[in-house]
Amino acid sequence: MNSTAAVLDRVAADLDQVLRGDDLPTLSDAERLSVLNAAGEVLRRVEAVVVETVATSDPVDVPHGAGCRSMNELLQRTLRADSRTAAQLVKAGRLAHRDTDLTSGESLPARWPGMRQALLDGAIGVTGLLAATGPIEAAGERIGTADRWKADELLADVARGYAMSEDDEAVSDAAPAPTPEDLKALAYEIAVRLDPDGSEPVEERAMRKRYLTIGRMRDGVYPLRGNLLPETYAQLQLLLDAQLNPKTDGPPAPEGVAFRPSDEKADAEEDELNSDPRSVLDTRTRGQKQHDALAATLGIAARHADMPSLGGAAPTLVVHMDFGDDSWARIPGVDGPVSGAVARHTGCTGALQRVFTENGRIVGMTITDRIFDVYQRRAITLRDKECLIPGCHVPASWCEIHHVVEYARGGPTSTDNGVPLCWWHHRSLDHSGWEISMNDGLPEIRGPSWWDPLGRWRVPRLSLPDFAFT
């Protein structure tokens, strides 16, 4: 019988064959998506092999027998991983560990049996396991075993893409798999429901730890140290966003603009506004994202109350379109025509004046101001929280509000017809493969085939169903 290590050696040999060939550089976009999906299946199963190996090992004897101080050090050396990755694997191993019944010798259920099985089946990876269990584990013994197993069952079903029926039964819907962030958000909802008083001890510790100190000047600057309460941090962050964030109405500080050499690697730094680990939802370079932020800033500046007027009115984009063809448009100051999609995108976020001509004669003119007001924006932000595209976590307060049914086609400027989209997803909506509709005032989304081969309309965010806990 082949040993487990020999089987893994064959897998490694097959992967070597893939990497040594010349096929990867010549793949089409569709083929690359297929390769990434297949690689994800392999990666999650390799992680499951490591976790199950750790879970079934003696945490002291095995590393000591290999000359290592701990399982963490053993994983660092055997997997060539850093200490943080090794710590995550050790933690996942504890969640998947099964004790042995002293009487029968049989293995008892793991602490998270459903999530363990989802890991072994390749439905989730280590990050998904830790994200789904972390908020509930943080509550400790305040959440009983029965409730934890109930939550485990629900989270495992969601991880597999199951939907919940009206009678709380899991139904296979072949839904796109949720991201670890989606699972964490759902787990937080469950933890709050099961441990509504859990915030009290946290609040007491936080009150004791809050402080702010300003040190003595050194090298011309004063050091600032401290711990902020959540509401204090939130208020401070709003004030900082108003000055530095390209998606707010505040004027940018002169020091907030940075120019980088054109030959600097664009992806050298992590973008805090979009940290999708799969890098499939947003493929822009950092330089491209900075351009998009500038474009959004210019649009906001043009509508800002403090912006000087031009000709007695706020700066208004004038779009020149032929009477019989609205697929192309001209904008004063722009060399050559632009796509009609540019006019539609611009008009969706601000004032738009259209001038129609026929043989050089003005035959029509429309002036529309279809900006969602501040009260509508707040309501839409409260409802949708983030950019509507799944996996994009740009906060709704930083987004543009998109008319689901175009204004030109009779779509109203109302909360039932508006959804938040970040500048990039708003600008690329016409050709990205994402579609948006409203169902009784609630947004639904249909994604491209690589995200959802079934092409179904789905809610963009996971939500906690009316699931009964003890």
Lowest mean pLDDT among 71-75, 123-127, 192-196: 192-196
pLDDT band at 422 (very low <50, low <70, confident <90, very high): confident
DSSP 8-state secondary structure symbol assigned to residue 275: -
End-to-end CA distance of the chain: 47
Q: How far apart are CA 181 and CA 163, in angstroms?
A: 18
Q: Across residues 314-330, what is the average pLDDT?
A: 55
Instruction: Identify which has the larger pLDDT, 145 or 264.
Output: 145
pTM of the predicted model as reported, rounded to 2 decimal places: 0.62
Q: Across residues 85-103, what is the average pLDDT?
A: 93
Strands 351-358 and 317-322: parallel
Contact 152, 114 (CB under 8 A): yes
Q: Across residues 227-241, what is the average pLDDT?
A: 59
Instruction: Identify which has the larger pLDDT, 252 or 220.
Output: 220
At 364 the pLDDT is 72
Instruction: Identify which has the larger pLDDT, 176 or 186.
Output: 186
Distances (CA, A) of 62 to 33, 71, 75: 39, 8, 11
Strands 435-439 and 224-227: unpaired
Q: How far apart are CA 431 and CA 240, in angstroms?
A: 34
pLDDT band at 75 (very low <50, low <70, confident <90, very high): very high
Which range of 18-22, 274-278, 361-365 scores highest in mean pLDDT? It is: 18-22
Structure tokens at 340: 């009609």
Percentage of the chain modeled with pLDDT above 70 = 62
pLDDT at 80 over 50: yes
Lowest mean pLDDT among 101-115, 221-235, 245-259, 356-370: 245-259
pLDDT at 243 over 70: no
At 341 the pLDDT is 56
Go through the chain and tell me how many residues it has.
470
Lowest mean pLDDT among 176-180, 343-347, 370-374, 455-459: 343-347
Lowest mean pLDDT among 10-19, 75-84, 111-120, 273-282: 273-282
Distances (CA, A) of 327 to 170, 192, 210, 330, 336: 47, 51, 58, 11, 14
pLDDT band at 317 (very low <50, low <70, confident <90, very high): low
At 262 the pLDDT is 40
Strands 162-164 and 170-172: antiparallel
pLDDT at 392 over 60: yes
